[in-house]
């Protein structure tokens, strides 16, 4: 399966550009803060993963999970917690999650502790694995 990963705001026309701290020119199509645009986490995501084809099911699900968690939040905040989200939500382990595990996730300060988002990731892994 080949999937192209794009951020929801990618379709906004690039009307201005800026230079990041690393000297690379990038499209300035967001209203987020400069800290977001110049963070190492975002630049690595933008330069290495954004709009790149992905063939690994785990990585495709990682992108879907990022989108599920980002609803209503800054994408920068999600990217800052991505390493911990990877640990907490492995595509192989999620189908084994029970009420106790959900309770553990709800008190884990290293991830986004929103019950609806956690349930969405758990429920969607079953659909994803059927594809």
Task: Please state whether 40 falls in left (phi above 0), alpha (psi between -120 and 50) or beta.
Answer: alpha
The answer, yes or no, to whether residue 75 has pLDDT greater than 70, is: yes
Are the C-beta atoms of residues 94 and 125 closer than 8 Å to each other? yes
Summarised one tens digit per residue, pLDDT across range 55-73 is 888 899 999 999 899 888 8
pLDDT score of 108 more than 90: yes
Query: What stretch(es) of the chain map to CATH 1.10.340.30?
Result: 57-130
Please state the CATH superfamily assignment of the domain spanning residues 57-130 in this structure: Hypothetical protein; domain 2 (1.10.340.30)
Cα–Cα–Cα angle for 89, 94, 96, rounded to 5 degrees: 145
In this predicted structure, the answer to whether residue 87 has a pLDDT above a threshold of 70 is: yes
Mean residue pLDDT of the chain comes to: 79
**Beta-carbon neighbour count of residue 69 at 10 Å?**
23
Instruction: Please count the residues of the chain.
Output: 131
């Amino acid at each position: 399966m080949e999937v192209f990963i794009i951020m929801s705001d990618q379709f906004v026309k690039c009307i201005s550009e800026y230079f990041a701290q690393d000297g690379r020119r990038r499209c300035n199509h967001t209203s987020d803060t400069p800290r977001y645009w110049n963070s190492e986490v975002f630049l690595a995501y933008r330069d290495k993963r954004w709009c790149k084809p992905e063939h690994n099911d785990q990585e495709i699900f990682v992108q879907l999970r990022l989108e599920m968690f980002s609803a209503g939040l800054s994408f920068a905040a999600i990217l800052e917690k991505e390493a911990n989200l990877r640990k907490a939500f492995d595509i192989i382990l999620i189908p084994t999650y029970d009420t106790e595990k959900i309770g553990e996730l709800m008190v884990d300060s290293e991830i986004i502790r929103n019950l609806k988002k956690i349930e969405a990731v758990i429920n969607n892994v079953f659909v994803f694995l059927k594809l």
